[in-house]
Chain A
Amino acid sequence: MNVLRTAEEIGLVQVGLNVVELLSSEELRNKVGAVMPLPSIKIKDNVEKMVAWIAELGKSKLMFLTPEIALFDIIPKYIADAEVIVLVPCSMDDEVKGRLAENIPANVTVSLLNEPYFPDEFIPSNGVIVACGYMANGRLMVLPETYRMIEHYKDFYGKFVFLPYVKVDEFIKYEEWIEINPDKFNLIWRDAE
């Protein structure tokens, strides 16, 4: 099972939520823990906190670099007129793209945008770009597609925020993950555990 490929389709937070339910299994901890940091049990509570934090930014157009479907459901609770834009990496398989398009919650306006296009009327006053990954000893780690898209959309003058699904004290570099400079972001959510 390739957890990271699944994460590209349902988001790191949703994978974290699925993993956390089964953390009692040593086999699972070894297997998943070999490719990504294991989520904390508090991830369930953190989902709401993450959305609330994004809502505090006061933007209605939220552009996600990973399809964090676990967050999308809750967004209307905090941002009534929210418009979610999910960036689809150019490397994503058509079949996965199709599945992703069908897996959009009905209670929120979500559209998919192919990399490298830029959304219309997405300006600093109304938009924010959200990247997900993990934080290890203060250092930020993202998946390669996210890294590439951060680089591509870095010229956006508005808010660029980082949302770690987990924060670990020790720096561990997992295969495939790439470290990204914290200066790329205006804000980092630091309440992850």
Chain B
Amino acid sequence: MNGLIGVQNSKANRIGKSSLFSSFGESAGFFLIAVMFIVGTLVAIGFNLPVKGIMANYSYDVLVILIVMELFTNLIAETGIMQLIAIKIAEKSKGQKRMCLMLFGGMMFLISSCLNNITAVMMILPIVFVLLKTLEVDRKYVCTFFAVILALSNTGGAASPVGDFPAIVIMTSGITSFLSYLTHAFPLFAMTSLILLVLWGISVKKEKDDGAIRELAIANLKSQYKNMRIRYDVLVCLGIVFLGMFLAWSIIPQSIIPPEIIAVLGYVVAMVICSLKKIRVHQGMEFKSVLTIASYLFFAEVVSESGLLRILAEYLQDNISSPKLLVMAIMFITSIIAGIFSAGPAAAAMMPIIVELCNGPLNAQSDWIAVAYAASICAGSSLFMWSATAGFILSGKVNKAGIVDGGEQKITWGIREYLKYGIVNYVVQITIAMVAIELVL
């Protein structure tokens, strides 16, 4: 019986290795990694900086947290909880497009604030695609929907110190504590997300039908997942472990147990629990994103060691006397760098300047400076498709999903389609961040 498919293999079938990136994104990504490492090494040699010395200060801790959090997300995904939440949201929305957009956006924010952005997006996408195909959406709605998902995966990632790469860099830099960052950043990014949701939600027209077709779509969706099993027993254990990690990050000083060690300890406990509970301990991950961030960190470390950023920081401080204006100028520069070169390089490149500022005139406000920095990276990350961590991956998945509009035309969602939504996302986010900084500094 060669063709028999084991039910156990189902997840492997569902999350195939096949083309997470579009071919363009993949080539550009590999090219970028190579350029960062090669140019970084050449700059180091050019400035006569010993590479061994540079690597002594390299942020391995950031990479460790990033990898561990992705692996932890894999364990949570195996419990099936993401699918359950997505179906409940679809049911709650009653198939109303506006409600779908707002509820899935809200879910994306919350998940991204705790777990890895890319994995979070991957988990909800299959259900989102089934829903969108059954709801008969048009091109405009698809563009709006995924623009919201992309923007809110960024705001979610910035809302907590373990949500995304820039936030992890901030946490490990020592300019703020886990708890301070969380209490300052979460409300700001939650508010930003809410404003984005309302703004985009209003742009979606209300349906004028009797709702029966939408109800059927939801009923069919529920039938498609009706026998899905949720491992609540494992989920509770993982929840306790994650809570423990959160508490440890908040309470234990970094000098006693560094955050990356807390992450590793949490993961190994979770891994053993899953193994004992007969849950697949899936240790596969998108290693390309780790390599990309490793290259950013290397390049940023080289530039930092060269002293160029210190000169830039001093130049800005000498020429902009008002601390508030100085922060805003840095926010603007950071957001543009994040927009053009994506969040990773921006976070790695600008961090030394931020540290300089926090050790200098703005020492008392370092918690807010950290948030301002995260907010500007977050805004920049929402500007272009390539700026966001999950941008190309999401685009590739949407284009492969085969969502069609009323005229049976396949809907594509790429750089061009996202541009105008990205500009709005950027303007809204950077404006809110600047207004917040104006008020608190």
- Interface set of A (CB-CB < 8 Å, partner B): 1-3, 6, 9-10, 14-15, 18-19, 21-22, 24-28, 31-32, 69, 88, 94-95, 97-99, 101-106, 110-120
* Contact residues, B1-35 vs A (CB, 8 A): 1-7, 9-11, 13-16
Given A1-B136, A95-B126, A98-B13: A103 and B224 interface contact (C-beta under 8 Å): yes
* Contact residues, B132-151 vs A (CB, 8 A): 133-136
Taken together as a complex, chains A and B put the C-alpha atoms of A14 and B9 apart, in Å, by 25
Which residue of chain B has its CB nearest to the CB of A11? Answer: B223
Which residue of chain A has its CB nearest to the CB of B402? Answer: A93
Given A31-B213, A101-B10, A102-B228: A119 and B4 interface contact (C-beta under 8 Å): yes
Given A99-B225, A120-B1: A27 and B212 interface contact (C-beta under 8 Å): yes
What is the CB-to-nearest-CB distance from B177 to chain A, in angstroms, rounded to a whole number? 42
Taken together as a complex, chains A and B put the C-alpha atoms of A112 and B226 apart, in Å, by 17
Question: Which residues of the other chain, A, contact B210 by a CB distance below 8 angstroms?
Answer: 25-28
Size bracket of the B interface: 35 or more
What is the CB-to-nearest-CB distance from B125 to chain A, in angstroms, rounded to a whole number? 10
Question: Which residues of the other chain, B, contact A10 by a CB distance below 8 angstroms?
Answer: 220, 223-224
Given A1-B217, A27-B210: A117 and B4 interface contact (C-beta under 8 Å): yes
The verdict on B243 contacting chain A, using a C-beta distance below 8 Å, is no
Known: A2-B134, A18-B223, A98-B14. 14 other contacts (CB 8 A): A1-B134, A1-B213, A6-B134, A15-B220, A18-B216, A22-B212, A27-B209, A32-B216, A102-B11, A102-B227, A102-B228, A103-B228, A116-B3, A117-B4
Contact present for B228 and A1 (CB under 8 Å): no
Which residue of chain A has its CB nearest to the CB of B1? Answer: A120
Contact present for A119 and B1 (CB under 8 Å): yes
A-B contact count (CB 8 A): 119
| Chain A to chain B: the 5 pairs with minimum beta-carbon distance, closest first | A117-B3, A25-B212, A98-B14, A101-B10, A114-B3
Q: Which residue of the partner chain, among B3, B9, B212, B217, contacts A101 with CB atoms under 8 Å?
A: B9
What is the CB-to-nearest-CB distance from A117 to chain B, in angstroms, rounded to a whole number? 3
The verdict on B89 contacting chain A, using a C-beta distance below 8 Å, is no
26 contacts between A and B (CB under 8 A): A1-B217, A3-B216, A3-B220, A6-B220, A19-B216, A22-B215, A22-B216, A22-B219, A25-B212, A27-B210, A27-B212, A69-B227, A94-B16, A99-B14, A99-B126, A99-B130, A102-B10, A102-B227, A102-B228, A103-B225, A103-B228, A104-B7, A113-B3, A113-B4, A113-B5, A114-B4
The verdict on B229 contacting chain A, using a C-beta distance below 8 Å, is yes
Contact present for B5 and A111 (CB under 8 Å): yes
Question: Which residues of the other chain, B, contact A94 by a CB distance below 8 angstroms?
Answer: 13-14, 16
Contact present for B219 and A21 (CB under 8 Å): yes
Contact present for B133 and A112 (CB under 8 Å): no
Question: Which residues of the other chain, B, contact A119 by a CB distance below 8 angstroms?
Answer: 1, 4
Q: Which residue of the partner chain, among A6, A97, A117, contacts B1 with CB atoms under 8 Å?
A: A117
Contact present for A101 and B7 (CB under 8 Å): yes
